[in-house]
């Protein structure tokens, strides 16, 4: 009974995560019709930091945000900043279903990087998971069959950058809280992105500002919702719920942007998600990790 209640709580947090991630995707696409990707990222970080302050104060204030690992936070956020910039740029280039499907190779890159840098073992299941992910990408991209879309390569690079970021977050969660990780993410990325944003700056129109605030809110609090879900249930329970983001995002692309989904893309997405399921089959869940995007 206790496990059922915990899984229900985790499910509710993941419903909130899915809604916020879809909201961020839609808002980001609307904003990037007018603003440069780098400017959007800076606005999201600065506004998101202000929005996060109530959670900071609820977590015993700024004193609880102290960290003994500033170098790891900086390294993680450089990777995350690069991943975000590439992801948002790809958002302007390719259909949403392609974007999200290829993004889901990120956990597979994380598994590979965890073997290389965190001492985790590479077993047959992980090798099969990574292989399925790569085959899934090949099915979607279809190199040699159709002309290569640069957006596919951009989002694949973003997924790899997110993999680096999440592998570093796995280490950070051993010492720092989820709120502290998000706190430092917003501060560091505000600093990193200031000069690039000013270089490309243009004032948003009145019609775009609401979308900017939606993107900032969704991008910041989606992290918290997933972290809370992982408190209540193992990653093997929580993370498969995230796979709903693929069909839901494809549906959004179809309804809002008239993007068609072909059977080959759907097959590639299934292969990538099945690879993720294989990767999640462990005896015990690893430490909660902050979400890779947003």
User: Does the pLDDT value for residue 2 go beyond 50?
Assistant: yes
User: Does the pLDDT value for residue 286 go beyond 60?
Assistant: no
> What's the average model confidence in pLDDT over 220-231?
81
> What's the average model confidence in pLDDT over 20-29?
95
127 belongs to a structural domain: yes
286 belongs to a structural domain: no
> What's the average model confidence in pLDDT over 69-96?
94
Lowest-confidence segment of 28-37, 48-57, 65-74, 257-266 by average pLDDT: 257-266
Highest mean pLDDT among 24-33, 130-139, 236-245: 24-33
Percent of the chain with pLDDT over 70: 89
292 belongs to a structural domain: no
Choice between 25 and 240, residue whose per-residue pLDDT is larger: 25
285 belongs to a structural domain: no
134 belongs to a structural domain: yes
Q: Are 269 and 132 in contact (CB under 8 A)?
A: no
User: What is the number of domains present in the chain?
Assistant: 1
> What's the average model confidence in pLDDT over 14-28?
93
294 belongs to a structural domain: no
Structural domain range at position 185? 2-280
> What's the average model confidence in pLDDT over 33-56?
94
290 belongs to a structural domain: no
User: Distance between CA atoms of 139 and 230, rounded to whole angstroms?
Assistant: 32
> What's the average model confidence in pLDDT over 233-256?
82
pLDDT at residue 199, rounded to an integer: 93
User: Distance between CA atoms of 3 and 285, rounded to whole angstroms?
Assistant: 15
54 belongs to a structural domain: yes
> What's the average model confidence in pLDDT over 131-146?
78
pLDDT at residue 191, rounded to an integer: 96
């Amino acid at each position: 009974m206790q496990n059922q209640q915990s899984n229900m709580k985790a499910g509710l947090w993941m419903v909130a995560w899915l809604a916020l991630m879809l909201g961020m995707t839609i808002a980001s696409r609307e904003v990037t019709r007018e603003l440069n990707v780098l400017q959007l990222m800076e606005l999201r970080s600065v506004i998101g930091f202000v929005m996060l302050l109530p959670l900071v104060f609820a977590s015993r204030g700024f004193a609880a945000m102290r960290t003994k690992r500033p170098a790891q936070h900086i390294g993680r956020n450089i990777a995350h900043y690069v991943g975000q910039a590439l992801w948002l740029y790809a958002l302007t280039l390719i259909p949403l279903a392609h974007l999200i499907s290829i993004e889901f190779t990120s956990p597979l890159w994380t598994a590979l990087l965890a073997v290389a840098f965190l001492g985790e073992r590479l077993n047959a299941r992980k090798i099969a998971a990574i292989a399925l992910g790569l085959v899934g990408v090949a099915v979607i991209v279809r190199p040699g069959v159709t002309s290569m879309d640069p957006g596919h390569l951009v989002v694949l690079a973003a997924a790899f950058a997110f993999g680096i970021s999440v592998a570093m977050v796995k280490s950070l969660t051993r010492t720092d809280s989820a709120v502290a990780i998000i706190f430092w993410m917003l501060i560091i990325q505000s600093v990193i992105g200031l000069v690039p944003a000013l270089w490309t700056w243009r004032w948003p129109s009145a019609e775009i500002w609401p979308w900017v605030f939606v993107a900032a809110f969704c991008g910041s609090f989606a992290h918290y919702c997933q972290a809370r879900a992982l408190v209540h249930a193992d990653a093997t329970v929580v993370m498969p719920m995230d796979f709903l983001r693929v069909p839901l995002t494809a549906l959004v692309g179809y309804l809002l942007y008239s993007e068609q989904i072909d059977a080959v893309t759907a097959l590639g997405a299934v292969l990538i998600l099945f690879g993720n399921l294989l990767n999640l089959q462990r005896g015990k869940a690893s430490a909660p990790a902050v979400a890779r995007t947003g």
